[in-house]
Structure 1
Amino acid sequence: MSFFSILLIGFAMSTDAFAAAVGKGAAMQRPRFAEALRVGAIFGVIEAVTPVVGWALGLAAAAYVTAWDHWIAFVLLGVLGAFMLISGLRSDTTDTQHERTRPHGFWNLAATGFATSIDAMAVGVGLAFLEVNILVVAAVIGICTLVMVTTGVMLGRALGVVAGKRAEILGGVILILVGSFILHEHLSGNAAVFGVG
């Protein structure tokens, strides 16, 4: 997998956290940069750890599903992308009300960060079937999330939750495209092996 693909995954994984951060920024009273950076660091660390956990789980099962590895990655990324699209397209009124009443303490932020990182864990499972350095992927996801969440909190009051939802839609599209590219690469490789095309 190329570094560009890894970067796209990192960006896609951070868009749902960005959407949550925009909501938090909209609910905070004039958040300072240090406060935004703290939120970004909490989200970034959690988002970096979860794909490694998923990768370890996927690696344990890799020996049993080698023939289907690229299809599994394609389906996981596609389904996650579809869920992000649906989440980004649905009405955001309820989410905004929840954000305005939710405190911003460490454990609440950590719980939100974990909730937005479940997809990263599933991506880690899919990556266990591919030749990729999971530590590089995890670091890229963590850094992208740190930057996106910090930015999201700072821009939250100005942009509102709608901008966060649009970012989540874009993240969903990117995941579907990356999954499709992985499958295309695999099928093209098989076609070349069998002298097709």
Structure 2
Amino acid sequence: MEMLLLLAVALAMDSVAVSIAIGSKYKELLFSKILVIAAVFGLSQGAMPLAGYLIGISFSGYVQAYDHWIAFVLLTGLGGKMLYEAYQDEFDEEVTDLSTKTLITLAVATSIDAMAVGVTFAFLQTDIYFASAIIALVTFALCFGAVTIGKKLGSLLESKAEILGGVILIGLGCKILLEHTGWL
């Protein structure tokens, strides 16, 4: 359960960074709009692992002998990508408006990583419905808080959220590899 919560936090960090940018750019957001923003990010982040799981389950039987290596490569690769993106300053340009289309586009773009994690869930035989629900709820809560904090602290925290997410994903990838190879 602790590993799933850490993973949920890590996956949410892209959405959190964008939510902070939204809050810093749109300081007069109403409570209802903040709920909508958090819900869109949460639903997208929760749906993508399920999609990845369905893809992964179709070939997980063929790769059982080295599934831990695939999980390691996917998670550390995603973590490295998040660390790289933490040093790119693109969020303010991405948040051009708060239309439904823009929110859905941002939510899907920030949750693609979760689809790859869903593939690893298939290899690890994870309860995908429970995992997706936890990821969605954690993302919702963190994005709600991030928009609110972004209204006050601006872009100061955007890259820090992605750094945290990247480090957590790399750590989880290493942990899976070490456990499955007997080194831990």
Q: Bin the TM-score by the shorter chain.
A: over 0.9
Change (3 A) 1:97 1:50: closer
TM-score by length of 1: 0.89
Deviations 1:3-24 (A, max 9, x none): 0000000000101100001111
Q: Counterpart of 1:116?
A: 110
How many angstroms apart in 1 are the aligned matches of 2:102 and 2:85?
21
Give the match's secondary structure for 1:182: helix
How many angstroms apart in 1 are the aligned matches of 2:159 and 2:92?
11
For residue 29 of structure 1, report the CA deviation from its aligned partner: 3.7
Give the match's secondary structure for 2:62: coil
How many angstroms apart in 2 are the aligned matches of 1:13 and 1:55?
15
How many angstroms apart in 2 are the aligned matches of 1:34 and 1:59?
38
TM-score by length of 2: 0.95
How do residues 93-104 of structure 1 correspond to structure 2 at under 5 angstroms? 94-99=90-95, 102-104=96-98
Change (3 A) 1:109 1:98: closer
1:9 and 2:3 matched: no
Q: Counterpart of 1:142?
A: 136
Q: Is the 8 A contact 2:18 2:91 kept in 1?
A: no
Q: Counterpart of 1:28?
A: 26
Deviations 1:50-96 (A, max 9, x none): 10000110010112111110100010000000000011123x2x432
Q: Counterpart of 1:194?
A: none
Deviation above 6 Å: which 4+ runs of structure 1?
A: none
Q: Counterpart of 2:17?
A: 19
Residue identity (%): 38
For residue 98 of structure 1, report the CA deviation from its aligned partner: 4.2
Q: Is the 8 A contact 1:36 1:151 kept in 2?
A: no
How many angstroms apart in 2 are the aligned matches of 1:122 and 1:19?
20
For residue 33 of structure 1, report the CA deviation from its aligned partner: 2.0
